[in-house]
Amino acid sequence: MLEEILKTRIMVKQSMKAYKHDKAISRMLEARQLGLKYIANFTYGYTAANFSGRMPCIELGDSIVHKARETLERAIKLVNDTKKWGAHVVYGDTDSMFVLLKGATKEQSFKIGQEIAEAVTATNPKPVKLKFEKVYLPCVLQTKKRYVGYMYETLDQKDPVFDAKGIETVRRDSCPAVSKILECSIKLLFETRDISQIKQYVQNQCMKLLEGKASIQDFIFAKEYRGSSAYKPGSCVPALEITRRMLAYDRRSEPRVGERVPYVIVYGMPGLPLIQLVRRPAEVLQDPSLRLNATYYITKQILPPLARVFSLIGIDVFSWYHELPRIQKTASTARSELEGRKGTISQYFTTLHCPVCDELTQYGICTKCRSQPQHVAVILNQEIRELERKQDQLVKVWLQRCQPTVGKG
């Protein structure tokens, strides 16, 4: 049964290469091969579930773990002991291993990799088979299941594919700026190997944020809302905090369970807990006194993922940030400017035309329209709704198109 499932998965993965230019079909085939993978993997868990399982067989589950580990260790020993390859296994886990070929070219790597796969397959009984998948040139291996590199799947492939697993470029628990800056920095490292260029790029992005020139879109978090009953009393969860504020304004605005709630982090008074600095993106756009908390985003979101990569080659990325000139901006500057204008509403509405019939008047609304207060109320309410609708549209357009985005340069 498992052999049939695995063969079907191999067939589906081969079909993906033929349809890699068709995104819809590629996504469908990717979902199918993942489903087949999970079915095969769950067979082990199904037999090892002695409490909740319906067909427990602990001996079978333990046998799978033991034989898998034994097979992997035998393969690692074979690779390390074969001197002609000059290979060293730097990482082996479950059913795969990373082999370091120091100083080898791409062509040599493909040749040796194929030889290793055939040699390991020959030492194992059928249907155990080691498949040579790809060459990373270059590659950064952080920890278990966290790595990134330029991937070559065939020898005649000219342009590499940026392939990442487990790091922030492919995770959704951070904001888009983290993914973009990390990916651009890694690509600069792979392509130029010039740390000065990476340092200049990272410092430029930090300065954009400190000066308030970065797009708010790139700094929006989106966390899943699990429903009000799913949280413990007193939970400090941003998605729950935003939902509470929305419900205080409108009881109908509660997000659906599983929906992602967007939020940003803004500046606040010193000593305030982080949960009180959470705001909806629309609030930041409407209130000029609110600014993105650049210090938090840089020190807690952008630099830590960069440090995990560049610390492997002895680079301290936090020192790049400390070298930047300090930019002092008071968060309440805009608010104080608005409060400083001690004036009346006539300073903002200086027109002498009646807003209903457009006739000249000295009293705001002309004498003729004053005799029809209900008609005036209807007309003015219609105009207010139309202006609010236009304002909402402008905010959406500005969010999507008009802001500068965090990127290369």
- Write down the domain spans for the chain: 1-56, 195-322, 345-402
pLDDT tier for residue 23 given thresholds of 50, 70 and 90: confident
Q: Looking at the predicted structure, is the pLDDT value of residue 94 above 90?
A: no
Q: Looking at the predicted structure, is the pLDDT value of residue 250 above 90?
A: no
Confidence at residue 337, expressed as pLDDT on a 0 to 100 scale: 40
Q: Looking at the predicted structure, is the pLDDT value of residue 111 above 90?
A: yes
Whether the model pTM is above 0.85: no
> What average pLDDT does this structure show over 249-273?
89
Confidence at residue 343, expressed as pLDDT on a 0 to 100 scale: 47
> What average pLDDT does this structure show over 129-156?
90
The residue that leads in pLDDT, 407 or 228, is 228
Confidence at residue 328, expressed as pLDDT on a 0 to 100 scale: 53
Residues with Cβ < 8 Å from 109, sequence gap 6 or more? Answer: 101, 135, 137
Q: Looking at the predicted structure, is the pLDDT value of residue 8 above 50?
A: yes
Q: Which long-range contacts (CB under 8 A, 24 or more apart) does 116-119 make?
A: 116/79, 116/85, 116/87, 119/78, 119/82
The residue that leads in pLDDT, 405 or 73, is 73
Residue 168 vs residues 137, 206, 299, 306: alpha-carbon distances, Å: 20, 18, 15, 10
pLDDT tier for residue 60 given thresholds of 50, 70 and 90: confident
Which of 46-50, 61-65, 115-119, 354-358 holds the top average pLDDT?
A: 115-119
Q: Residue 137 half-sphere exposure, CB side, CA atoms within 13 Å? A: 20
Confidence at residue 162, expressed as pLDDT on a 0 to 100 scale: 93
pLDDT tier for residue 123 given thresholds of 50, 70 and 90: very high
- Tokens found for residue 200: 């200049």
The CATH label, of 1.20.1630.10, 1.50.10.20, 1.10.132.60, 3.40.640.10, for the domain at 195-322 is 1.10.132.60
Q: Looking at the predicted structure, is the pLDDT value of residue 50 above 80?
A: no
No. of H helices and E strands in the chain? Answer: 14, 8
Q: Do domains 1-56 and 195-322 have the same CATH topology?
A: no
C-alpha to C-alpha distance for 59 and 304, rounded to whole angstroms? 44
pLDDT, mean over the chain: 85
CATH class of the structural domain 1-56:
mainly alpha
**H or E element at residue 190:** helix 176-192
Confidence at residue 67, expressed as pLDDT on a 0 to 100 scale: 87
298 sits in the region (left: phi over 0; alpha: psi -120 to 50; else beta) called: alpha
Q: Looking at the predicted structure, is the pLDDT value of residue 59 above 80?
A: yes
Q: pLDDT (tens digit, 9 = 90+) per residue, 321-363?
A: 999 887 654 434 434 344 444 444 444 444 566 777 877 665 6
Confidence at residue 139, expressed as pLDDT on a 0 to 100 scale: 92
Q: pLDDT (tens digit, 9 = 90+) per residue, 148-202?
A: 999 998 888 889 999 999 898 888 888 999 999 999 999 999 999 999 999 999 9
Which of 62-71, 93-102, 176-185, 318-327 holds the top average pLDDT?
A: 176-185
Confidence at residue 306, expressed as pLDDT on a 0 to 100 scale: 95
Q: Looking at the predicted structure, is the pLDDT value of residue 405 above 80?
A: no
Minimal CA–CA distance to 44: which of 10, 12, 67, 11?
A: 67
Dihedral angle at the C-alpha atoms of 132, 136, 141, 143, nearest 10 degrees? -30
C-alpha to C-alpha distance for 278 and 262, rounded to whole angstroms? 10
Confidence at residue 231, expressed as pLDDT on a 0 to 100 scale: 87
Confidence at residue 342, expressed as pLDDT on a 0 to 100 scale: 44
Q: Are 72 and 97 in contact (CB under 8 A)?
A: yes
